[in-house]
Structure 1
Amino acid sequence: MKWQTLAWTAAFALACSASAGAAELLGPGVISTSLQETSAALSPDGQTLYFMRSDFAEKDDTILVSHRHGKGWSIPEVAPFSGQWHDSEPTFAPDGKRLYFVSNRPVHPGDRPLVAEMANQHFAGTNLWYVERQADGRWGEPLHVDGALNDGAMLYNPSVAANGDIYFSAHRPDSGTYYQVYVVHPAGSGYSTPQRVELGDVSHNRMDPCIDPRGRFLLFAGDEGDSLGSADIYIAFRQADGSWSKPEHLGDDVNTKSLENAPSLGPTFGELYVSSNRQDDVSFPKTHDTMASLQQRLGGPLNGSRNIWRVDISKVLRAHGIND
């Protein structure tokens, strides 16, 4: 895949200069490119962004970091703890002192990379890891999160609540045919046994949970029977008895006929980031292409690759009595 030369010779790009409906493309040409970008993780002050970039087949995942400068973002660099293994899906703890991610790196030095198996297919496995902020502001060495949550090496999209609960998606013995959302609670020096989050019939695929830091609502990607595309973003609200409401489709401000997944919350109220492969429509006959115009369009962010989009869901939250 060829890069847009102009985009990579520029130092910065406007964070929200392209849009699709109410959604805004994040850092076109710098953050969102012709490759696959997903899993935005904004620092609590909103000034640092970690995200995943990969090839179309997502066999080569790497975590990148970029810094905000005014309305723009710096050219991303490989995160100091990534670049050697199949690393993906970064997420901050609410206080910003830890950054969690998943990786196929071996648990013990010298071992082979993790491999997962499902339906007779083998692929890069994932365990949960984190880095911790040191006194000098740098990240420490990656630390493995021990416990049953890593059983099967198929843990995806961790999300951390302020009380230390970790939500994630996985395929486990009680998942049914598809992936489901699970949660573990801090217990002693480790974590409890994973519990499936009851969101309805397990005949539906549920991935990529994103928990409100205060635990009031949960976002995830899937299809509850009314998806506009192959996967959409849904929200469920915590009930008075601790259970979860029936998942609600977030509508066409967030969702499209394309794939939407990997929701994450920004530091501003109602600020939601999602990954989507939405693209510009092409109608025929099109304006006659030259090689330059063809290359520019096919090498741009809206070529069908997954990009990171920002959308505001504050109205949805306020409608459910959540105002901060």
Structure 2
Amino acid sequence: MSPRHLIPVVGLAAALAASFAARAQSRGELVGPGVISTGLQETSAALTPDGDTLYFMRSDFAERDDTILVSHRENGHWGAPQVASFSGQWHDSEPTLAPDGLRLYFVSNRPLQPAAAPVTADMGGHHFAGTNLWYVQRQPDGRWGAPVHVGGALNDGAMIYNPSVAANGDIYFSAHRPDSGAAYQIYVAHPTAQGYATPQRVDLGEVARNRMDPAIDPQQRFLVYAGNEGDSLGSADLYIAFRQADGSWGKPLHLPGDINSPALENAPSLGPRFGELYVSSNRRDEVRFPKPRDTAASLQQRLQQPLNGSRNLWRFDIADVLRAHGIDH
């Protein structure tokens, strides 16, 4: 993109940021309006431990063309995103950082061997881009190394989504596996000397409920995920489950406040600050009729902005929820 194309984008981003400032105080904060969150689909926020570098996924509305982008924050503002060094050729999505920031996991349909066919999957008679789990390792010069395929049974079936990594290396993810029932469930794979062990389904209740997109606390004291436990306001809401004294997971709780809405909420991730929760949502501004009469230019500008029904990234604070369950750091 040439510098002359950046001028209107920056101006629009500043105007959008100002217009969303009051909204952020009561309804969460839209992340980087006009820069990170746009009229396209943005999901799966992954922040570095210092909070100043953000990896995320951007895609078309059909989510058939997914790419991982990176943005850096300077003076409180997110810079124009760039395609991550390891992405841009394959169907790459759902980045997540290990708690120390030295390894970034993502899912991709890239072939396991050079010149091989891309990974594909089948479910319910549908054929689509499959996903395997990969990672890149931070090098001494600060750059990412070449992508490495994660071996083991967790990649069986080529339908692994939204990985999340605990401090001890346990990987949580959602998938459709033989014991998932008709929907998706959340699994955990434990590292061993020989690689990752066979994934175990996380017991959060009856498998008739759809559960996806885990965000695990680094110490595994709680788990946030997307699904519908029977009281969802929309097609999917966000829930939290707390680890019990016996190691089991407690009954999932519907997250309170404005985190959930009648829209779709999913792809949660935890930020580096205590209680910081990032969420993907396709909530939109309400359209009231009669509306001010649009011109072709005003209509196009409005429909290309955030809150047009596309998925955007939001930031919320769940510190009070955590403190209410004895977690204060």
State the TM-score, normalizing by the size of structure 2.
Answer: 0.94
Aligned residue among 74, 90, 105 for 1:85: 90
Contact 2:119 2:158 in 1 (8 A): yes
Any conservation in 1 of the 2:31–2:313 contact (CA below 8 Å)? yes
Q: Is the 8 A contact 1:271 1:312 kept in 2?
A: yes
Aligned to 2:205: 200
Matched residues, percent identical? Answer: 71
Q: Does residue 1:94 correspond to 2:68, yes or no? A: no
Q: 1:46 aligns with which of 42, 51, 55?
A: 51
1:134-165, CA deviations, whole angstroms, 9 ceiling, x for partnerless residues? 01110000000000000000000000000110
- SS of residue in 1 equivalent to 2:301: helix
Q: Which residue of structure 2 aligns with residue 60 of structure 1?
A: 65
Q: Which residue of 1 aligns with 2:117?
A: 112
Q: CA deviation at 1:11?
A: 9.8
Cα 1:95–1:14 shift into 2, 3 Å: farther
Runs of 4+ in 1 over 3 A off after TM superposition: 4-7, 9-17
Q: How many residues align?
A: 321
Counting helix residues as a fraction of each chain, which structure ranks higher? Answer: 2
Counterpart code for 2:9: W
SS at match of 2:306: coil
Which range moved further: 281-290 or 307-316? Answer: 281-290
Q: Deviations over 1:280-320 (max 9, x none)?
A: 00111112222232122111011100000000100100000
Quote the Cα distance in structure 1 between the aligned partners of 2:206 and 2:295. 51
CA distance in 1, matches of 2:15, 2:114: 41
Q: Which amino acid aligns with 1:289?
A: D
For residues 115 and 6 of structure 1, what CA distance do their matches in structure 2 show? Answer: 41
- Structure 1, unmatched stretches of 5+, are none
Residues 56-89 of structure 1: CA deviation (Å, up to 9, x unaligned): 0000000000000122100000000000000000
Instruction: Using the TM superposition, name which of 121-130 and 290-299 deviates more.
Output: 290-299
Name the residue aligned to 1:255. Answer: 260
Residue of structure 2 equivalent to 1:316? 321
Q: Structure 1 residue 32 and structure 2 residue 37: aligned?
A: yes
Q: Is the 8 A contact 2:13 2:33 kept in 1?
A: no
After superposition, the C-alpha distances for 1:223-266 in whole angstroms (9 at most, x for unaligned) are: 00000000000000000000000100002320000000000011
Counterpart residue number, 1:286: 291
| Residue aligned with 1:253, SS | helix
Q: Which amino acid aligns with 1:84?
A: Q
In structure 2, relative to structure 1, the CA distance for the partners of 1:214 and 1:133 (3 Å cut) is: same
State the distance in 1 between where 2:7 and 2:208 align: 46
Alignment RMSD (CA, Å): 1.7
**Match of residue 176 from structure 2:** 171
The 2-side partners of 1:115 and 1:320 are apart by 42
Unpaired runs of at least 5, structure 2: none
Q: Separation in 1 of the partners of 2:228 and 2:16?
A: 29
